Chain A
Amino acid sequence: MPKRTDIKKIMLIGSGPIVIGQASEFDYSGTQACKALREEGYEIVLINSNPATIMTDPETAHRTYIEPITPEAVEKIIAKERPDALLPTLGGQTGLNVSVAVSEAGVLDRYGVELIGARVDAIQRAEDRELFKEAMAQAGLECLKSFRVRSLDEAEKVAQEIGFPIIVRPSYTLGGTGGGTAYDLDGLLNIAAGGMKASRNHEVLLEESVWGWKEIEFEVMRDRNDNAVIVCAIENMDPMGVHTGDSVTVAPTQTLTDREYQAMRDASIKILRAIGVETGGSNVQFAQNPKNGRLVVIEMNPRVSRSSALASKATGFPIAKIAAKLAVGYTLDELPNDITRETPACFEPTIDYCVVKVPRFAFEKFPGVDPRLGISMKSVGETMALGRNFREALQKAFRGLEIGVAGMDLRAEELVNKEEIELELTKTETDRHFNVKYALKQGYSIERIHELTHIDPWFIDQIAQIVDIERRVLDAPRNRPLDLGLLREAKISGFSDRQIAALRGDESKELDIRRERIEAGLKPVYRQVDTCAGEFEAHTPYFYSSYAELDESRPTDNKKVMILGSGPNRIGQGIEFDYCCVHTVMALRERGYEAIMVNSNPETVSTDYDTSDKLYFEPLTVEDVLNIYENEKPMGVIVQMGGQTPLNLAVPLMKAGVNILGTSPESIDRAEDRKHCRAMLEKLGLKQPESDTALSVDEALLVARRITYPVMIRPSYVLGGRAMMVAYNDNDTRAFVHAALNVSPGFPVLIDDYLEGAIEIDVDTVADGERVYIGGVMQHIEEAGVHSGDSACCTPPHSLSTELIKEIEQSVERIALELDVRGLMNVQMAVKDGELYVIEINPRASRTVPFISKATGVPLAKVAARISLGEKLADINPWAMKQPGQWFAVKEAVFPFNRFAGVDPILGPEMKSTGEVMGIDRNFETAYWKSQISAGQDLPTAGLVFVSAKDSDKPWMVDIGRILVEMGFELASTEGTGAELDKAGLPVQVLKKLAEKESPNVLDLIRQGRIAMIINTPSGPVARVDEIKIRSEAILRGIPIVTTEAGARSTLDAIRYVRDRDWDVQALQDYYTAAP
């Protein structure tokens, strides 16, 4: 059947900010879908609150709404745009949930919008555990024994029936939020209570445990004719018990016989039919008892997912693109396989390599969090690697992870707790694979390790083979070059040059190993990803390296440039940098250059095979990048777009003879080195907060007094995300410096002048050595001291004078010219008492580039890319691109605190946010309000507000209290703050302290759902336990929480503004075309 002609306009819902469990992969799938539907001639209406996405570029959809992804906003857009259809399956769980909500509310019926891709009843059957079980039973498939409960009493009864351990799974959540494994009754009641709160329908499922079973996922596609294909099957190296997002996973399956594989294949297709997924991609998860083959269905997702993105990258089959086309009526046999061009998309990819995905964690940012992995996802990113064998792919993945290891190397063992290795093996922590290696070296047998870890013996044997090679390299005489046969064997098994150098005694001699290797003729070849294991000729320029004979990369003689991506997502480096890389690729291609992308992150748009002219899916290390550079011989490499990852490679690459395009590594160093930077600013006559370092408490006291209090104190090497502390006197300094020196002994403590109450400012800019274009000035909402990545900000500045903005711009211009920046630069500044201070200079793409680009209409990264190629700002003329209309854009950060029960959600100098949203409107208040709603802060317009502040904050808190009362809110408070409020004549309900164990205390009210909002500042540098309890309880229950004065004021302004007027949605395209 050809595409449908009865629909013309299709609405797509994005997945919003990057959060744990829902990351860049949905920009990848959404962008693919937009492109696919556009090329079919449909008009696309898009809603997504995340500005750092390619899908929200004004060219991607026809009508782009950067608005909160709520049923209310979706309805407003539908009323305005009147789309014919809504495609709910490409925006992750967020998109699916909002679609169900608007459908259930009758909005779709009211406006005659058809849900395509998945019907509501199918979504419900897939998402609702009980309905799912029924459907599986009807299809003759076995599920786990499980019971749905809505109260703790019921939970207790079920526990008696199925016994412990029990898995708790809330309905309708992403990545298993609020779920967990309960080993006893107390644990069960605790987890179940949290899970019910997290669930959209206050319901959790209690389930028998299949801990240690094999975990396998199938990616299935089905069309309206009932054709169904398996795109990829993925086996988890980490067995059941660890969320698949936190597991090392492998494609294709490695330890299933064909009979077992086909049983799962048949079941997968049956499940799609039983659930009623008419068209599109779905993910089905199975568990298999490794002792007897018993197969049970775990769950299915009737939408594209993180796994489908991985499957697409692993096989070359573009699931999201095909899913979009199936949704508008095509059938699989009508669509071509882009890679072979001659065969149809109706087939099952077969691959002739092994793909390994390894998750990346951020526990160091959240001290005190339980580091055990379980059924609730905790990883923040991932890296994928392809190899001709598992060892190669695994080691490449580990070295691409950027956790300081060069593979399963000797350094990896430093992470192992060697004392109690047997106990460690039973734990599911992030270092578990390194534990396996260590245990093998200690002589543990594969069988014993399997018993302790439940990891399939085949995988353990693979690590044993790595151990064997490692031992032989270690034992080889060091006074002569390594035996060529052994070197080849090591390279085939994925050993990096650095890893081999370390085994030869000195890891810094990586380049010597490289030289030896190349002299011996041992160079990697590049293999094509072709969906068909070589059966047909492929046209897709998607490659991975391996040590074998045949090279398929066919370098061209074109003018070409390599772009280094940003590797695995992590806190501080995520989708924003991928956005910049993709824009760079676009700019290069527009200017007629061949763009060669190098990256290892499967979630991204940059690793879509049709983004660049050539894609090398490789780790971002000196070795891997140099290999590609020498193979391709491009005119240069762009390192300024992918964040810190490529920037760290700039100097070693330059030393190895690589031509770095854009700002020179010397200039980068001049900006990043504290001493050089200070000298330069002095030369320009620009102020910097005074700072110095100290190695002892006495020294610190002298420094602090010289700088004058208050001062900011932090360890120079921050390990556990320890908060930067503000010292107001010598006593503070003694305590803090003592603590800081304990955190990183032997390293100096950094002491800066603390600009208390200062306004912080970010500026993104592009320069070409002659002229400077100010991309935008952003005013932070929170005071200086909160990491800029965690702070909300507004552009244009909502409360700075024109003169000050002018001064800021001029200062930035002078810095850019002095540093001879050729491309992007970000400067952080602070204003206090009318004085401007420069805090930090980064001559590279920053996290805010996509936000500024969206907010102003000027694609900064593209402009910068063209400058890297030698073009001039005068010719590019970004000034003419700037949109003339007037509006405010507010960026707000989004945090993963809800994943980490018990963590204090207080902001500090360590960045903790995983993503961001943008609120845009004609006035600041509404823009700010939209940003809060988008970030999940469900701001109330009435109700009880809990306020509590430390002594120094009480004056302004009283003021906030007064405003709240004027606005009709009721107040509740603790004793101290309550007394102040009372003194000011404000009505307040004073609550018991938690320690008093009397009711009602604030936790009681929170749990009863009576608190509408919390405004609370930390009592001191070390928060009290009960404060943390209050804040983390609020986070768990989704109650908005504000922890700074500026944040509180902006929030109240916004509530007041929006409460009194209605708010509206507007497409980016309308902002851009608006006349001034």
Chain B
Amino acid sequence: MKKALIALEDGTCFEGRAFAGSGEVFGELVFNTSMTGYQEILTDPSYHGQIITFTYPLIGNYGINDEDMEGRRVYAAGAIINEASPIASNWRSRTTLAQYLEENGVLGLDGVDTRAVTLHIRALGAMKCVLSTEDSDRDRLVRKAKESPGLLGRDLATEVSTQEIYEWPCDNPRYHVAVLDCGIKLNQLRLLSKRNCRITVYPNRTPAHRILESRPDGFFISNGPGDPQGAPEVVETIREIVHKNVPTFGICFGHQLLGLALGGSTFKLKFGHRGANQPVKNLRTGLVEITPQNHGFCVDKDSLDPEQVETTHINLNDGTSEGLRHRKLPAFSTQYHPEAASGPNDGGYLFDEFIGLMID
């Protein structure tokens, strides 16, 4: 296997070897602490533009199957692993992780001291980085990392959103939901469909009137990559639809966009929340949910007018915003991923609440 280097914009380098792919890729270096679900994570469009360090050291054990895709391809720019399993062992497995990354042309490194990488990011924050199997000049690679574009202010959602409007099937449709695709995870569509929603998926840049024309019963804003402040037009679209009293539900990036649309602001966390064990308190019930998360940006909960917008959920680790609800309009959102895949299903009730809004 080819030797590879990981060079960070702060000058730090880590060594590894390429178990899949070759070449040079750029991205924001982040870490995810989930112990299962690498397939869902790698195919989650929210990771577009990012290089994922998996903190769990043994990745690829159960291979890749056809059902657990969260997007149509691998969206992460690269994967950094301690040890990639040479074999795939699970009854549903179709191929190995290495083959799958190869098929997708994505660079995968293993043999990396991933805990060292993680502690570095924890201390200094997520940062720009380059993975290379071609260049062994550390100084040059660090320079390349510095010069690469970061995430701040970037509208990455448009890059991963659907180009065309499409319908997602439903066996027994009772509601029509318009989905704004900012980089949607397929399980969000699956869960809505299972709850009798006929879904029309729109590109994220679709103007509000196009969406409203179809008279949807509900409006859903998906997760997605990048800086929510990178696309003020999309925020405007959401503001317009929400103020038309269309029941609205946003997840992750959708939460940030809704927060902005309702007058709040967002900021970037030092190294984000990426994993399947984030404790979130539902302030209405007092109950705690264990939630899957994947975000680097965050709604500033103090920036929202408490008269207008209620904070419904907070993160117990750092007190940041995890959920909001408009006090008059039928609109709410969560920063975490109630659709799970991967991660715990504790937040599944939020989909029911969305259906509840459409019934009202």
Contacts and interface: CB of A to CB of B under 8 A. Distances in A.
A254 B33 contact: no
B115 A457 contact: no
Contact of B288 (A227, A266, A532, A548): A227
B25 to A, nearest CB: 23
B95 interface: no
Contacts of B31: 534-535
B118 A350 contact: no
Given A255-B89, A258-B68, A549-B116, A350 B35 contact: yes
Contacts of B351: none
A550 B122 CA distance: 14
Q: Is the interface of B mostly helix, strand, loop or mixed?
A: loop
B56 A533 contact: yes
A255 B60 CA distance: 9
A525 B57 CA distance: 16
B287 interface: yes
Given A257-B92, A388-B82, A457-B87, A350 B58 contact: no
B344 A257 contact: no
Contacts of A266: 345
B281 A533 contact: no
B61 A254 contact: yes
Contact of B278 (A347, A354, A456, A457): A347
A293 B67 CA distance: 14
A333 B316 contact: yes
Contacts of A533: 33, 55-56, 115, 118, 275
A106 interface: no
A229 B33 CA distance: 16
B340 interface: yes
Interface string A386-428: 0011100000000000000000000000000000000000000
Interface in B36-67: 36-37, 39-40, 55-58, 61-62, 65, 67
Contact of A255 (B61, B83, B115, B278): B61
B228 interface: no
B341 interface: yes
A352 B61 contact: no
Given A254-B61, A350-B56, A352-B57, A259 B68 contact: yes
A128 interface: no
Nearest to B93: A257
A225 interface: yes
A291 B91 contact: yes
B16 to A, nearest CB: 11
Contacts of B62: 255-257, 458
A534 B115 contact: yes
B113 A258 contact: no
B65 A257 contact: yes
Interface string B302-321: 00000000000000110000
Contacts of A292: 91
Contact of B279 (A257, A291, A344): A344
Interface string B80-108: 00110111011110000000000000000
A167 to B, nearest CB: 23
Interface in A334-353: 342-344, 346-353
A953 interface: no
A532 B287 contact: no
B122 A333 contact: no
Nearest to B278: A347
Contact of A550 (B39, B116, B279, B340): B116
With a 10 A CB-CB cut-off, give which of A266, A290, A352 has the most chain B CB atoms.
A352
Given A229-B290, A533-B55, A550-B115, A255 B35 contact: no
B65 to A, nearest CB: 7
Interface residues of A, number: 54
B276 interface: yes
Contact of A458 (B56, B89, B278): B89
Contact of A347 (B65, B85, B277): B277
Given A348-B290, A548-B116, A257 B56 contact: no
Contacts of A537: 122
A81 to B, nearest CB: 35
Interface string B262-291: 000000000000011111010000111010
Contact of A389 (B37, B82, B279, B340): B82
Contact of A258 (B40, B58, B118): B40
Contact of A350 (B33, B61, B317): B33
Nearest to A547: B113
A527 B57 contact: no
Contacts of B91: 290-293
A536 interface: yes
A458 B278 CA distance: 29
B290 to A, nearest CB: 5
Given A257-B92, A333-B281, A388-B57, A351 B340 contact: no
Given A347-B290, A347-B316, A533-B55, A550 B113 contact: yes
A461 interface: yes
Contacts of B122: 534-537
A796 to B, nearest CB: 56
B62 to A, nearest CB: 5
A265 interface: yes
Interface in A430-444: none
A658 interface: no
Contacts of B37: 257-258, 261
Nearest to B54: A352
B206 interface: no
B200 interface: no
B119 interface: yes
A48 to B, nearest CB: 34
B114 interface: yes
B196 interface: no
Contacts of B39: 257-258
A262 interface: yes
B40 A332 contact: no
Nearest to B286: A225
B223 interface: no
B111 to A, nearest CB: 9
A255 B317 contact: no
Contacts of A915: none
Interface in A77-116: none
Given A347-B278, A350-B275, A533-B118, A258 B343 contact: yes
A824 B10 CA distance: 56
Given A262-B340, A350-B276, A257 B36 contact: yes
Given A293-B92, A534-B55, A258 B341 contact: yes
Contacts of B114: 352
A226 B287 CA distance: 7
A307 interface: no
A350 B34 contact: yes
B58 A527 contact: no
A254 B90 CA distance: 10
Interface in B118-175: 118-119, 122
Given A389-B57, A446-B87, 12 more contacts: A225-B287, A252-B56, A254-B58, A261-B36, A343-B317, A346-B316, A348-B277, A348-B290, A388-B82, A458-B61, A550-B113, A550-B115
- 7 smallest CB-CB distances across A and B, nearest first, come from A258-B37, A258-B342, A533-B55, A458-B89, A550-B116, A258-B36, A348-B277
Interface of B: 31, 33-37, 39-40, 55-58, 61-62, 65, 67-68, 82-83, 85-87, 89-92, 113-116, 118-119, 122, 275-279, 281, 286-288, 290, 316-317, 340-345
Interface of A: 225-227, 229-230, 252-259, 261-262, 265-266, 290-293, 332-333, 342-344, 346-354, 388-390, 446, 456-458, 461, 465, 527, 532-537, 548-550
23 contacts: A226-B287, A257-B39, A259-B67, A265-B345, A290-B91, A292-B91, A293-B91, A333-B288, A342-B317, A343-B317, A344-B317, A348-B276, A348-B290, A348-B344, A352-B118, A353-B57, A354-B58, A389-B82, A461-B86, A532-B277, A533-B56, A548-B115, A550-B119
